Amino acid sequence: MRTIALALPLLSTLLGLFQSRALLHLEILAHRQQLAMVNQTSRKRLRFHWGQRLFWICLYRLWPGCLQTLQVFKPGTLVRWRRKCFRLYLTWKSRCRRGGRPPISPKVRELFRTMSRDNIGSGAPRIHGELQMLGIHVSEATVAKYMVHHPKTPSQTWRTFLDNHIQDLVSLDFFTVPTATFRILYVFLVLRHDRREVVHFNVTEHPTAQWTAQQMVEAFPWDPAPSHLLRDRDKIYGASQIHSII
């Protein structure tokens, strides 16, 4: 036991000397490589090819302390090279590995297109359900990807609606007018859209729902009232009374 206790410090000292000598050689190699890189080019700005970058990446992997010996370029540049090399390695490795979903055969793709082409009103959920009954197990997203998408019929625009129903459109609204004696008068207007004319108007100081409904009756005493009434949501109109008259 005493012999082992005396041999351990000697062994650790020898290992320390061997490790220090290896680090010394690595440091000399790093300085020589930088000197060679400077002597190989006559440009003011150094250009490093892929072999030199690969050397420093491997040296950094073997000895991270090489960052303290860099004089030609910054330590952050070496770290950036290493990260870029690692990304390229992962990209290559992911391409070599065959994974993910199994490919869809051309016959099944053509079946998707044929079913969607022959059934214009059927969407991806319905076609997916039919395929499930046929024993073809694919996802609904796959069906939507390969099916034929028919252009949708354009819906009627607001301008088209106004052109088609302008004969039955009438608008009503209030606006205020201040007087010289600082009173507020409420002016009621009824506007017909087909002829763009004011059908009826009246003025009051205290508008109520009953008064507004009476104005609608006076606006259309003989002619049939229009089927579409345009107004805002002001409670002054009395929605139930006006709707019963219109």
Instruction: Give me the helices (H) in the chain, please.
Output: 2-39, 50-62, 75-96, 106-118, 124-133, 140-146, 158-165, 209-219, 239-245
pLDDT digits (tens, 9 = 90+) for 96-129: 656 566 778 888 888 888 888 888 778 888 888 8
Q: Which of 16-30, 120-134, 145-159, 175-189 has the lowest mean pLDDT?
A: 16-30
Domain boundaries, the chain: 18-40+47-96, 106-146, 158-245
pLDDT over 70, % of the chain: 82
Mean of pLDDT over the chain: 78
Helix (H, G, I), strand (E, B) or coil at 24: helix
Q: What is the DSSP letter of 99?
A: -
Name the CATH superfamily for 158-245: Ribonuclease H-like superfamily/Ribonuclease H (3.30.420.10)
CA geometry: angle at 148 spanning 147 and 151, to 5°?
A: 135
What mean pLDDT is predicted for residues 171-191?
A: 90
pLDDT at 244: 42
| CA nearest neighbour of 120 among 148, 144, 156, 139 | 148
pLDDT digits (tens, 9 = 90+) for 208-243: 888 888 888 888 887 677 778 888 887 777 655 444
| pTM assigned to the model | 0.35
Instruction: Examine the pLDDT at 4 and tell me if it is beyond 60.
Output: no
Which residues, 6 or more positions from 72, have their beta carbon under 8 angstroms from its beta carbon? Answer: 34, 37, 38, 46
